[in-house]
Amino acid sequence: MKYYVMILCCFLFNITQSQNCNSSLYGEIHDFHDGTAISNATIFIENLNKYTTTDIDGKFSVANLCDGQITIVVSHLACETKRLEIQVKGETFKTINLEHHIEELHEVEVKGSANSKLTKTSQETLLKTETIERYSSLNLGDALKQVSGISSINTGSTIVKPVINGLHSSRIIVMTNGVRLQDQDWGIEHAPNIDLNTAGSITVLKGANALAYGGDAIGGVIVIEPSKIRLNDSLYGKTIISGHTNGRGYSFNTSLTKTYQKGWYLGAQASMKRFGDFEAPDYSLTNTGLNAKGFSINGGYKTFEQGFNVNYSYLDNEIAILRASHIGNIEDLVNAINSPQPLVINDFSYDIEAPKQEVTHQILKTSFYKRFKNFGRLEIQYDFQNNQRYEYDVRRDSDDNDKPAVDLTLKTHTLKTSLKLDAKSNFTYNLGVNAGYQNNFADPSTDVRRLIPDYDKYDLGAFIITNYRINNDVHLDFGIRYDFNQIDAKKYYLTSRWEERGYDVDFNDIVIEDLGTQLLTNPKFEYHNISASAGVSYKVNDKNSFILNYGLSNRAPNPSELFSDGLHHSAARIELGDLRIQKETSNRISGTYHYENKGLSLNFEAFYNHINNYIFIKPTGVEYTNRGAFPVWSYNQTNAALYGLDLTANYNFNTQWFYKNKSSYIKGNDLSQNEDLIDIPSIKTVNIIGYSNEKWLHFNTELQSELVLRQKDYPNNNFEVYIPTTEEMVELDISSTPPTYHLLHLQSNITLDLSKKTDVNIGLNITNIFNTNYRENLNRLRYFADDLGRNIMLQLKLNY
Amino acid sequence: MKTLKNTLFILLATVVFSACSSDDDNPDPVNEEEVITTLTATLTPVGGGTTITLKSQDLDGDGPDAPVITVSSPIAVNTTYNGSLELLNETESPAESINEEIEEEDDEHQFFYQASNSIATFAYLDFDGDGNPVGLEFTVTTAATAGSGNITITLRHEPSKDASGVSDGDITNASGETDIQAVFPVTLQ
């Protein structure tokens, strides 16, 4: 404001002077954060093509200017270049503030890749736009598997949940455009509702060190950010179209953004995906299609000092689930497992029939930020999410198949504010508070007892993180966070279940209504959690660097772990939560060693995660119903340890040929029972050989070999069961893991430059080139069918 | 400043709007519609005599309590019985009969009857539109010698009725999903 006054004063004092060209501009350039003078900054006067630089005190002057408006561009190494219009009238003085932490501009999370220089002290990997675009027609989980140590737990090929160092679901936080995704992430068949096409970059942070996002990310955090807005007058966009042979699928995504140099911007994006039944090498996977539609609108105002953003996104996924995986009772499961191929195989179809799910997710976000000179950056954000989930089962009366068996509406409001103090160049502080309210409504018109009850949930959190830069080679990080969660549910229990669980003794006071065969109860739980993190990064020299860190995190049990109560058809098992379940506590230490020399880069990441009261589900008996027998799986707690090593290696033979390796090894132990943990990813190694040649239309190609070894370490959950129709006892083998498999994939693309601003990228990808039969241990449909056969995908990407 | 005001306004409006939509009423109970709590097979001897009922009743559905199996009396040797099934959902009041549902979609359902120790043989009396058996009505012919064994009644949804042996009542190739499976220990005398 005072500059305006100053300019105005100059203007007033000089008003009597006639227009002349003896005027001059002088001024000072300071760092926005701490006010220190910036020397050696370049000042370029655009309309006069004149240069000058600042002296050691940050001062500069330009003589012999004509009165009137000039445009100057101020730049400095490692600073954001600033363009200004200045009214020159006589002796004109101007103070200019430059932002010298350009790499942190608008940063909310740690950026950088395993191969770039260290910026902070966690194990993190960045997926860039080009990589994400390759997966435009697939899932978040598929794209993330490019990161060493990330695998996925699947229900078929369209429901893909990311697994970070062996942990998934509620143990992972997914942040999209600053919003913590709340989409009933507790279930294995509940994939994150993210349209990959909205992502400009994805950062994976292993472990719970990123306390700004939450204290319960025992596994890690996935941060999805939209493409950065360019601050110039521009209209740009891109369109991606792809076609697939497997599933006869096609997808379409388009986006358009209008930006103004003054900082205003508006963008829109829409995408659709359609797949029919996928194919295993030997048969069609009946009822595995997908129909997805989504769009988003993004607008706001952005300058260095302040801005706001309003974003709305809508995503609707209708996903068919393999028909043969819908099971009546344990005998059907025995038949299905023993059958070499699925028991239902029909001709190809785009139809999506029961069993299926349809999930709609909407996010409305508004945020506002302001930077204060010599102080820091304040941000306030409010977001609302609405997650509507329908699951359809095969019903006895096929007229009822249109009636969902699960109908849940989850609404979440979050208000958060954060303050980043970066005025001191060696210390930055990041602190924030957040408050959330969540309501789940289970519609009773399904005529199926609720899987998850109605509940209200309240969250309150506060954190402070300090980053201390000792020198350019050593960084220290400390963080602490407190979270309070309260869950207030209203749940019906069958009286028989209530008594069988012993709740009539322990929880008699929460019964609010007795309907004879059912009891209405009001479970109310509160959790106070403390999380902490500490880390150090040390760059020994240009070749070697290390990161060490420690994270303490606590996670309150999710509604599924507390309240699950019913028959799960796809698994033919009765799943039971437990009201007695306590929070789990993780202590994780990890270390990274990075080596970089000429064409070679190596990255080793090791971790040890000790989890007290680790919540998991395991078989605890068999129950009999009129349908027959079912195994009962109950949520339990134990002490567990997960540890492993992730390796990423890169070697550039020359500018054209390169070799890459990504390998991961992980082990999980149940320390109390002294046995292996279930669902631990197998040892995996990916070898890539690539070639690129700029001269051949920017040609890139890579051949990928993916080797997944049989998981030899698993708990034996097999049990003997009596099969009435054959009158014999059989052993139901649900534990043995599928054999080792090896797949080859090919990716290639060329880019045609149509004009200065328009190019077309044509990509040809073949996955599972040899149409290999395989089953993946972490795909829950592995009991019923082989995984996908060969797929040839053609993708056209138009940038304009 | 104006942008800030607008942002706050949108924010507040959304909070207020959504806060109004919650309600504090207790949720309605759900009576499981898909559950078959009770299967009763009534066996009436063709030449007259004692009618026998085989009943499997599981009033808590998928709950922890096992079905209660009752067999009214021993079955007579060397006798043909006419059998009929009644399926009920007794969690509803009055109890809902499931028979109709099966009759309406009889091409998608089939009952299978099995007896251990060769104590009895079964034959279908009712058929769907394609001439394939359904099994709500059937006959039981008991063996000539006294003994004991199990009678197993299974209802399969969407079985492959055309698969080998299925229309003769052999469950081996039937696939489909099991909706009911009840095992009755019986004595022949």
More confident residue, A87 or B41: B41
Full DSSP string of A460-506: EEEEEEEEEEEETTEEEEEEEEEEEEEEEEEEEEEHHHHHHTTHHHH
| CA A100 – CA A102 distance, rounded (Å) | 5
Q: Do residues A108 and A203 touch, judged by C-beta distance below 8 A?
A: no
More confident residue, A364 or A99: A364
Nearest to B113 by CA among B96, B131, B103, B126: B126
- Is A512–B26 a contact, with Cβ atoms under 8 angstroms apart? yes
Q: A616 is written with which tokens?
A: 């998991």
**pLDDT for the residue numbered A7:** 45
**Residue A635, CA distances (Å) to A503, A508, A559, A620 in order:** 15, 21, 12, 9
A224-799 maps to CATH 3.10.580.10: no
Cβ of residue B97 closer than 8 Å to a chain A Cβ: no
pLDDT band at B7 (very low <50, low <70, confident <90, very high): low
Domains of chain B: 34-188 (2.60.40)
**What average pLDDT score do residues A758-774 get?**
96
DSSP state of A40: S
Please check the confidence at residue A375 and state whether its pLDDT lies above 90. Answer: no
**pLDDT for the residue numbered A382:** 97
**pLDDT for the residue numbered A401:** 81
Nearest to B56 by CA among B180, B139, B155: B180
- Is A332–B177 a contact, with Cβ atoms under 8 angstroms apart? yes
**What's the length of chain B?**
189
**pLDDT for the residue numbered B22:** 44
pLDDT band at A656 (very low <50, low <70, confident <90, very high): very high
Domain boundaries, chain A: 2-100, 224-799
pLDDT in tens, A432-454: 999 999 999 999 998 888 989 99
- Is A626–B171 a contact, with Cβ atoms under 8 angstroms apart? no
Q: What average pLDDT does the structure give for chain A? A: 89
Please check the confidence at residue B1 and state whether its pLDDT lies above 50. Answer: no
**What average pLDDT score do residues A531-538 get?**
93
Cβ of residue B131 closer than 8 Å to a chain A Cβ: no
Sheet with A201-206: strands ordered across = A123-127, A201-206, A220-225, A172-176, A179-180
Contacts of A395 in chain B (CB under 8 A): 34
pLDDT in tens, B10-32: 555 555 444 444 445 789 988 88
**pLDDT for the residue numbered A767:** 96
pLDDT band at A744 (very low <50, low <70, confident <90, very high): very high
**pLDDT for the residue numbered A353:** 92
Q: Do residues A767 and A745 touch, judged by C-beta distance below 8 A?
A: yes
Please check the confidence at residue A402 and state whether its pLDDT lies above 70. Answer: yes
pLDDT in tens, A298-309: 999 998 889 999
Secondary-structure percent of chain B, ordered helix, strand, coil, rounded to 5 = 20, 40, 45
pLDDT in tens, A472-499: 889 999 999 999 999 999 999 999 999 9
**What average pLDDT score do residues A229-236 get?**
86
pLDDT in tens, A125-136: 888 888 898 898
Q: Do residues A253 and A135 touch, judged by C-beta distance below 8 A?
A: no
pLDDT band at A172 (very low <50, low <70, confident <90, very high): very high
Cβ of residue A378 closer than 8 Å to a chain B Cβ: no
Contacts of A327 in chain B (CB under 8 A): 177
Please check the confidence at residue A13 and state whether its pLDDT lies above 50. Answer: no
**pLDDT for the residue numbered B6:** 58
Q: Which residues contact A416 (CB under 8 A, 6 or more apart)?
A: A380, A381, A382, A432, A433, A434, A435
Q: Which of residues 168-187 of B touch A (CB under 8 A)?
A: 171, 175-183
**pLDDT for the residue numbered B9:** 56
Of A411, A625, A727, the CB nearest to B62: A625
Of A335, A411, A497, the CB nearest to B63: A497
**pLDDT for the residue numbered A396:** 80
- The sign of the torsion formed by the CA atoms of A206, A212, A218, A224 equals negative
pLDDT in tens, A555-576: 999 999 999 988 877 667 889 9
H-only helix segments in B21-125: 99-104
**pLDDT for the residue numbered A80:** 67
Q: CA geometry: angle at A11 spanning A5 and A13, to 5°?
A: 105
**Mutation to test the B interface, candidates A573, A627, A633, most B Cβ within 10 Å:** A627
DSSP state of A167: B
**Fold classified for A2-100:** Immunoglobulin-like (2.60.40)
pLDDT band at A118 (very low <50, low <70, confident <90, very high): very low
- Is B150–A308 a contact, with Cβ atoms under 8 angstroms apart? no
Contacts of B148 in chain A (CB under 8 A): none
**Mutation to test the A interface, candidates B3, B62, B156, B160, most A Cβ within 10 Å:** B62
- Is B30–A448 a contact, with Cβ atoms under 8 angstroms apart? yes
**What average pLDDT score do residues A658-674 get?**
95
pTM, 2 dp: 0.85
More confident residue, A1 or A637: A637
Q: List beta partners, residue A314.
A: A295, A362
Cβ of residue B4 closer than 8 Å to a chain A Cβ: yes
Q: Which of residues 109-128 of B touch A (CB under 8 A)?
A: 109, 112, 114, 116
Nearest to A723 by CA among A611, A583, A793, A628: A628
H-only helix segments in chain B: 2-20, 99-104
- Which of A395-409, A543-557, A631-645 has the least mean pLDDT? A395-409
CA A744, distance to chain mean position in Å, is 26
| CA A65 – CA A88 distance, rounded (Å) | 8
pLDDT in tens, A101-116: 544 433 333 333 333 3
Of A398, A411, A624, the CB nearest to B108: A398
Q: Do residues B29 and A492 touch, judged by C-beta distance below 8 A?
A: yes
CA A318, distance to chain mean position in Å, is 21
**What's the length of chain A?**
800
Per DSSP, the three-state class of A688 is strand
Of A344, A625, A727, the CB nearest to B116: A727
Contacts of B67 in chain A (CB under 8 A): 624-626
Please check the confidence at residue B127 and state whether its pLDDT lies above 90. Answer: yes
DSSP state of A770: T
| CA A58 – CA A38 distance, rounded (Å) | 5
What's the ipTM? 0.84
pLDDT in tens, B104-114: 999 999 999 99
Q: What percent of chain A has pLDDT over 90?
A: 64
pLDDT in tens, A313-352: 999 999 999 999 888 888 888 888 888 899 999 999 999 9
B94 prior amide bond cis, ω within 30: yes
Of B37, B60, B102, the CB nearest to A494: B60
- Which of A224-228, A585-589, B119-123 has the least mean pLDDT? A224-228
More confident residue, A95 or A179: A179
Per DSSP, the three-state class of A618 is strand
